[in-house]
């Protein structure tokens, strides 16, 4: 699908046909949004702009040279947008092409930043005199959404901290959830750094209007703040993970102490029972006497009490 936003008689118009390129003046076009475009739509856009548009494989390259490049006529910038899911986040690569005053975007899935811009650009056309402003608006909206994701992760970390503080049951699933939060935090941080790299490259570009540099600098400051928040969140998750592992180890040590104490308490009675259970007559002990069992039980009880008293005195349980 293609959507062409252009000015006409002081209003913002939109066309959804590549055939309209023949009738729309080049200087009136503000934004061309290519959403899973067909081959004809992409080729018509390339002819209209006089430049080539990167394919998806090129846009998803991780090298810095592939994420940002420019020619005498155009600026090419590729960055990833995060899409929140129930448990984990997915990345969607978006390509931006800036030619003269026209912004062209190429994407494969619906994104809230683009939907909001489409609504605003139709409602306030005077605010978007060029594609550079539209480009900045998308980045600002996207960074605001990234900040919301950072805040959401922070709230989830706080909830897990409260569970640990309240002494709730900590299971294997609890540790898996913490690990998933760590993965999400790292993914958010990498995504934010990717935008920081793109904006820094645009600031160095001679083709981007200098009048928009203050807004780009503000975006860089916001991104730096978000990176600090993600670093702090990751540190909290590491501390929480270490605390949970420490609690699990303490619980296991308590269980082992109980088993050890029970084993030691039963060892002397077992020895006494084995000793008197031997098929040997003791001259000093009347084996057939009725008091025999009472004497043996008394010795066993005394051994248990002595061991219990020793452990209690040494605070070993």
Q: What is the CATH number of the domain that holds 69?
A: 3.30.460.20
Residues 238 and 296 both lie in one domain: no
* pTM across the whole model: 0.72
Q: Which domain holds residue 118?
A: 2-248
What number of other Cβ atoms are within 10 A of residue 301's Cβ?
Answer: 11
**Domain edge (last residue) among 248, 272, 299:** 248
What number of other Cβ atoms are within 10 A of residue 12's Cβ?
Answer: 20
Structurally, the chain folds into a number of domains equal to 2
Beta strands 102-107 and 29-35 are parallel
More confident residue, 253 or 146: 146
Q: What is the pLDDT of residues 39-88, one digit of tens each?
A: 888 888 888 888 887 766 655 555 545 578 888 888 888 888 888 776 67
Residues 244 and 258 both lie in one domain: no
Residues 148 and 272 both lie in one domain: no
Q: What is the CA radius of gyration of the chain?
A: 36
> Are residues 32 and 104 in contact, defined by beta-carbon separation less than 8 angstroms?
yes
More confident residue, 245 or 79: 79
HSE-up (13 A, CA, CB side) for residue 176: 5
Lowest average pLDDT, out of 146-155, 183-192, 301-310, goes to 301-310
> Are residues 50 and 18 in contact, defined by beta-carbon separation less than 8 angstroms?
no
Residues 26 and 108 both lie in one domain: yes
**Domain edge (last residue) among 201, 225, 248:** 248
| Confidence (pLDDT) at 66 | 59
Residues 14 and 134 both lie in one domain: yes
**Domain edge (last residue) among 216, 248, 280:** 248
Residues 264 and 299 both lie in one domain: yes
Residues 299 and 157 both lie in one domain: no
Residues 133 and 282 both lie in one domain: no
Residues 261 and 142 both lie in one domain: no
Residues 168 and 259 both lie in one domain: no
Provide the b/e sequence for 114-149 (b: ≥16 CB within 10 Å). Answer: bebbbebbeeebeebebbbbbbbbbbbbbbebbbeb
Q: What is the pLDDT of residues 178-208, one digit of tens each?
A: 788 888 888 888 888 888 888 888 888 888 8
Q: What is the pLDDT of residues 30-40, one digit of tens each?
A: 988 888 888 88
Hey, what's the torsion of the CAs at 13, 38, 53, 187, to 10 degrees?
Answer: 90
Share of the chain above pLDDT 70, in %: 85
Provide the b/e sequence for 163-198 (b: ≥16 CB within 10 Å). Answer: beeeeeebeeebeeebeebbebbebbbebbebbbbb
CA–CA dist 255, 265 (Å, integer):
15
Residues 241 and 259 both lie in one domain: no
| Confidence (pLDDT) at 239 | 80
Lowest average pLDDT, out of 35-44, 145-154, 166-175, goes to 166-175
Task: Quickly state the pLDDT bin for 276 (edges 50, 70, 90).
Answer: low
More confident residue, 310 or 31: 31
Residue 240 DSSP code: H
Mean pLDDT of the chain: 80
Residues 104 and 231 both lie in one domain: yes
| Confidence (pLDDT) at 27 | 85
Structure tokens at 86: 């129930």
């Amino acid at each position: 699908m293609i959507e062409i936003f252009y000015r006409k008689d002081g209003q913002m118009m939109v066309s959804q046909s590549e055939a309209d390129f023949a009738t729309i003046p080049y200087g009136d076009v503000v934004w061309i949004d290519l959403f899973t475009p067909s081959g004809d739509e992409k080729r018509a856009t390339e002819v209209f702009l006089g430049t080539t548009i990167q394919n998806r494989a090129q846009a998803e390259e991780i090298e810095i040279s592939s994420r940002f490049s420019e020619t005498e006529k155009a600026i090419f910038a590729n960055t990833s947008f995060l899409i929140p899911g129930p448990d984990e986040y997915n990345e969607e690569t978006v390509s931006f092409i800036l030619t003269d005053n026209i912004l062209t975007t190429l994407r494969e899935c619906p994104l809230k930043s683009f939907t909001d811009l489409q609504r605003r650009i139709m409602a306030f056309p005077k605010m978007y005199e060029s594609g550079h402003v539209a480009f900045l608006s998308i980045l600002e909206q996207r960074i605001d959404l990234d900040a919301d994701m950072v805040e959401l992760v922070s709230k989830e970390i706080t909830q897990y901290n409260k569970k640990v503080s309240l002494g709730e049951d900590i299971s294997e699933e609890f540790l898996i959830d913490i690990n998933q939060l760590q993965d999400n935090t790292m993914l958010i941080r990498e995504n934010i750094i990717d935008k920081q790299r793109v904006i820094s490259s645009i600031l160095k570009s001679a083709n981007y209007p200098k009048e928009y540099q203050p807004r780009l600098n503000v975006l860089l400051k916001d991104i730096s703040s978000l990176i600090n928040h993600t670093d702090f969140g990751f540190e909290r998750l590491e501390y929480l993970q270490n605390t949970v592992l420490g609690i699990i180890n303490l619980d296991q040590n308590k269980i082992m102490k109980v088993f050890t104490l029970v084993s030691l308490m039963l060892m002397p009675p077992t020895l006494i029972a084995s000793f008197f259970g031997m098929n040997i007559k003791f001259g000093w002990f009347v084996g057939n006497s009725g008091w025999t069992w009472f004497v043996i039980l008394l010795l066993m009880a005394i051994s248990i009490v002595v061991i219990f008293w020793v452990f209690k005195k040494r605070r070993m349980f």
